[in-house]
């Protein structure tokens, strides 16, 4: 939705204090709406009604619904700027990383996650925002974990990182969205021990040469 001139001026007014409690209430309402009606039927109008806030209040903080949804997802996932603490080993680092992801991906959020995946295919702006501010950040965190492991001598290189990320994403989405099952401790241990670690320790296919 295009902002009216008055709303644009109000949004960009310098020195205007942010009401963190009000902002969180709006984002909570955004998550509720996304879960109930999906991204396509989500709008600033419906969000304002659900959050009992004016559209001007919402536009002071976000330019459009894609930006609201991005921030709601980041808050839901416990967005953080600092790298996860070094746990001392690749296995423990991966389990810590996966545990942080699992905290925000309860089975009741399956509809939300599935809706976001569909919406990213139809909304280029949402797709770009989610990749730049959520997915790329997760990839960078995994790469940092693998680089620490290389420095420890646990891995020869981080060359298998791209494949590991693809496998992780597929298995997490499959477990949550297709199976409707929790990302519990037993599943995370299985994922790390039986899938990710063997994959990372296996040389990339283009470096193995001919088997004959």
Convert the pLDDT of each residue in 131-173 to its tens digit: 998 888 888 888 899 999 999 999 988 888 888 888 988 998 8
According to the model, what pLDDT value does residue 79 have?
Answer: 57
Convert the pLDDT of each residue in 2-46 to its tens digit: 343 333 333 333 334 568 899 999 999 999 999 999 999 999 999
CATH numbers and ranges of domains, the chain: 5-74 (1.10.10.60), 81-207 (1.10.357.10)
Residues 115 and 34 sit within 8 Å (Cβ to Cβ): yes
Other CB atoms within 10 A of residue 65 CB: 24
Convert the pLDDT of each residue in 54-84 to its tens digit: 999 999 999 999 999 999 998 887 755 566 7
Nearest to 58 by CA among 73, 74, 46: 46
Q: What is the 8-class DSSP label of residue 104?
A: T
């Amino acid at each position: 939705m295009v902002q009216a001139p008055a709303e644009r001026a109000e949004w960009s007014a310098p020195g205007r204090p942010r009401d963190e409690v009000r902002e969180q209430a709006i984002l909570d309402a955004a998550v509720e709406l996304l879960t109930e009606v999906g991204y396509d039927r989500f709008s600033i109008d419906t969000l304002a009604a659900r959050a009992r806030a004016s559209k001007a209040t919402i536009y002071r903080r976000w330019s459009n619904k894609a930006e609201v949804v991005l921030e709601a997802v980041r808050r839901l996932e416990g967005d953080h700027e600092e790298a996860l603490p070094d746990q001392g080993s690749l296995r423990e680092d991966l389990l810590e990383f996966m545990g942080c992801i699992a905290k925000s991906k309860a089975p009741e959020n399956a509809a939300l996650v599935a809706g976001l995946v569909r919406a990213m295919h139809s909304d280029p702006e949402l797709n770009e925002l989610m990749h730049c501010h959520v997915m790329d950040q997760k990839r960078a965190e995994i790469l940092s974990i693998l680089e620490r492991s290389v420095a420890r001598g646990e891995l020869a290189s981080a060359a298998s990182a791209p494949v590991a990320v693809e496998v992780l994403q597929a298995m997490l989405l499959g477990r949550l969205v297709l199976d409707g099952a929790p990302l519990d401790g037993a599943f995370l241990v299985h994922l790390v021990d039986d899938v990710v670690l063997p994959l990372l320790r296996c040389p990339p296919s283009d470096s193995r040469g001919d088997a004959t």
